[in-house]
Each structure stands twice: as C-alpha cells, then as structure tokens.
Structure 1
Amino acid sequence: MSASDFSGWAIRRNGSCVGEVDCGVTRDPFHACCPSSTECPSQYNVACCPFGKNCTAAAVETPKCANGSWVMFDNAGFFCCEKGYIGYNYRGTDGCSKSGASLPDGALPLAEISQASFSSSSTTSTTTPTATPAPDSQSNSDSDSSSNNAIPVGAIIGGVLGGVAFLALVILCLWFVRRRKARVEDATQSFMLNQEPPVPIRTEKYAGTVAPSQEIDGNPRAELSNDAATATKTYELA
C-alpha cells in the first residue's frame, strides 16, 4: 500500500479535529476525524476513504487506521486514538483518553489491537488452503487403488465358490443316477427270483397209420380185431 493511501478507520478526538476532516460528533465531546486527503462517507462506523470511493468493506477485511501513527481499538467496530492514548467503551460508544488519566465513571478500557496482526492473519488464511489438496488427492488415489485391488480378489473368490458348487452338483447328480440304477437292478433280480420255474410241455410223437403186415408171398395179412375174433369164437360155439 502506498504512503499516500490514507484509507482506514477514523480517529476519535476530544473536541474539534486538528487540520483534519471533521466527520461529525460520535458522542459529545468526541468527534470522528480523518486525514485531510480523505472523506468519510455515511456508512458503518466511520471509515476514511479516498474521494469518491467507499472503502468500508476493505477496511473491515483488513482493519487499519487511516494514519499509520495512530493506534487501533475494537468496540464492536474499529476506531483509532492518538499514540499514547487508550481507547475505552463508554455506554456503547468510543472514547480516547491519555494514558494514566482517569476514565469517566462506567467506562471500560479496551486493549490495543495490532494492525499488522490482521494483515498477516488474512494473508495466512488465504494461503493455507492451497497446501491442503495434496494429502486429499493422495488419500483419494490410495483409496481408489485399494478399491481396484479389491475387485479381482472378489472375482477370484466368487469364481472358486461357483466352481466348487458346480462340481458338488455334478457329483450329486452322478450319485443319484447310480443309486437309481442300483435300485432298478435290485428290483429286477428280486422279481426273477420270486418267479416259479415254467412247467415243461410234453410232446408225443405222431404214430401215423399202421401198415398191415405182409406174408412171405407178398399178400397182406389182415389181423382181426378183438371184436372180430370174439365174433368168430361165438360163431364156432354155436
């Protein structure tokens, strides 16, 4: 910031301003005063800004006095006092008193705030986040690599379990088929043992027609049947 830049918070003077821009009475007898090269637009608290500009936001972000020789205090809003003075809170308003002098009844002294600490803290807050992404990216890459390494292991375990289940199913099917075949064979043998042996069928040779006996001279000789012989015998007896 250049030496001619007098933007910042105004000083509280008891009585009138000394060769400065009088920004008005804050609490009688105090006036808010700014360097002569600045103005104090109506805004939050009293900030001294270059002509035609509103620097309140910048003064809040980086608190400092409009004159580097002043000291700064905070009473729910920044204000400045002459060097060698202390700031105080008197019924919610700002006041400056020479160090060692008695304060008004009910006034509470305030601690001086270093203007340099605000600029350094703001710089630190802006630069700190830039160093943090590296561990996050590293942890993300580590988690991604670990998840990628876990995928093949799960696939291998799933394949092994599937193969074992398929093999067990095949063995179970073979056992069932063999058991069923054995039952069928046992049932067939039991049925064959319980059957009675078949009765053999007796077959007679066909005798055919009895040829008549023949005599030596070639003439057939007829045998008399039992009935004819009986009849002959009966006839002879008669």
Structure 2
Amino acid sequence: MSVSSSGFAVRSNGSCQANEVDCGETVAPYHACCPAKSFCPQQYNVDCCPSAENCTSTLLENPQCANETWDLYDNGGYFCCKKGFTGYAAEGSDGCAEPGYTFMSGQVLLPIISSGQVRTSSASITRTLPTSTSTTVTTTPTTTSETHSKANTGPVVGGIVGGVGGAFLITAVAWIWWRQRSSAKKRIDEQISQQGVNLEKDSRAVLPRGELEGYYAPNEVSGATAPGQLAAHHGVSELEG
C-alpha cells in the first residue's frame, strides 16, 4: 500500500483496519482512518499528517488522499473512499457505500474528484528446470557452386529417367505396330491363296459335258449345232427286185 506524506483520511463503516490509525468517529457508524505511522491532529474532515502539527492548509493547496489507491470525493470538505466503494452525501454527513448497497432517500451519489491508482502486485517465481544434455552440431557452409549443383541434380536425373522411359515407350509401340502389320499381311496372303484355289475348282465344275464321253459342249452360238450329236444316217434302200 503506497502512502503519501500527507492526505485526507478514508471513511470506514465501523472500526479501522489493524494497520491503520483510528482518528475517531465522524457520523455513526463511520470512522476516519489514516495509514499507519501518520497523525490526525485536526478533526476537520480528518487530515492525515506526517507529524502532530496541523497540515490542513497544505492539503487544501493540492488535495489528495493519504493513500494513492483511494478515491477522492468532495462534500463541502474532502474525504476518501477505498477502491470499489462509492462516496455519497446525506444531510449533514457523508460516507462510503459498499458494493451492492441500496441507497436510501436523501442520500446523493458524489462524483469522484481524483481516482486512485490501481496497482497489481507481482510475485517472483523461481523455477528450477531439469538439466538437459546439449548436443553441439557443427555445420559446414555450402558454397554457391555446390548448392547450385545439388539444386540441379534432381531435374537432371528426372530428365534422364524421363528420356529413357520415352524412348522405351516409342520402341514398344513401334514393335507392336510391326507385329500387327505382319500378322495382317499374312492373313491377307492366306485369304488370297485360298480364294484362288476355290475359283479354280468352281471353274471346272461348271463346264457341261457332251452326250458322248470325252466331248465338251461349246458355248451356245447362234446357228451352231452341237458336234457331239452324230449326223443322221439314212438307211440303205433295198434294191428293187
């Protein structure tokens, strides 16, 4: 708790805290409280002074609370409330209402003249971390030429593999085409040869034979007679007599 050398007292509903100086009751049930090791020689709004001498005139030149975390109010005279409490005025008195307090008729909320500072205390925490074995790795910088060479290795290898694969594919396609062409040509030759044999057989089968063995009838020609037929023989006339 930060304490000024002098300042106005805080209103406490009931008794003061153990580390505070109780400067007496103002209006029941409120008491005026000052920080420890301070003096309150004047009951006029209760001043907290660094000594037993009255310091009211000095405080009026620069009004402030005896503790910089308190909020300063004015009700025809300065007084302070702890942070979170609300200063209010009633007929002939003033006080600090706790959070959730229901105000009564005639009690008026007062504006804060000077807001106290909010300080957060931070605790220092020391942690012992387990000792870990550290490994030092030494790396040798790579020169620009080596880096460039390594960077190009992948594309070069990929290009070689791609070229070999392409050549193999072309060779395989050409070989398959040649096999198919040879097979097709062989089938065509066989079909042509078979058709020639069949034509020869058919031509012999359609030639008509003559009535006599060994003669073949010629083609029909207008006016022609078949040579296979023998000329008609006239019988020899019997001799008269």
TM-score by length of 1: 0.45
TM-score normalized with structure 2 length: 0.45
